[in-house]
Amino acid sequence: MSQNIEGKVIVITGASSGMGEAAAKHLAKLGAAVVLGARRSDKIEKLAKEIAADGGKALAIATDVTRSDQVRKLVDLAVEKFGRVDVLLNNAGIMPLSPMDRLNVDEWDRMIDVNIKGVLNGIAAALPYMKEQKSGHIINTASVAGHKIFAGSAVYSATKFAVRALTEGLRTEVKPYNIRTTIVSPGAVKTELLEHITEADVQQANKDYVGAVGLSPESFARVVEFAISQPEDMDINEIIFRPTAQEL
């Protein structure tokens, strides 16, 4: 199936670690040109050099997804350097879980800004190019928490429910332009997301659980590969994946 990935230009947000980094490496090995966005410029520049040293094509640009101008610059760079943008992987996200009665309002605001507005900024940057091309694929990272709510996840889950709603709404509107849309909802995956949790008891509980059953970030990369690699007339709209041992 990877024949539909070779030569594609793929923009990835949240590419500095975890699932975004794994996807960048994996897709580059399959022949895609990857354009990497994240706030930590040192990490994505290092990743781009590693991909290039391995024979792949990669560019990196510091990007805060809450800044629409920076996300536009990221997508514009992809088009400037490679002539088009075939796939946008809206992967940047944060997960500072906490019970609502602890009133971590600043964290609520940050989740809304990154997890929802960041996705919208990516769509706004890529959609005009994809409409003009009459082709493209927008992949948005949601979560199992966007299907189920558990103690401490209310606001995070709300942002991921929103990602699902936005992606499904987009799907219904872009059919005239031959654009595909995919929601990827991972379960427990071992990434830096757990470091965003500032409540010590909540963080420890989640670290214990994910440490016991969590998948590697490469599991996400393989799912993304599957969605992209389908023939252009096939639109994989939503994928949920979990560790086999995960009950939630």
Distance CA 181, CA 236 (A): 7
CA angle 222, 228, 230 (to 5 degrees): 105
129 given a catalytic annotation: no
129, 156, 177, 209: the active-site residue: 156
Q: How far is CA 214 from the centre of its chain?
A: 18
Distance CA 29, CA 35 (A): 14
187: left (phi over 0), alpha (psi -120 to 50) or beta: beta
Q: Please, are residues 24 and 5 in contact by the beta-carbon 8 Å criterion? A: no
CA distances from 57 to 5, 48, 81 (A): 13, 8, 11
Side chain identity at 231, as an amino acid letter? P
What distance separates the 2 farthest-apart alpha carbons in the chain? 51
Enzyme catalytic residues: 156
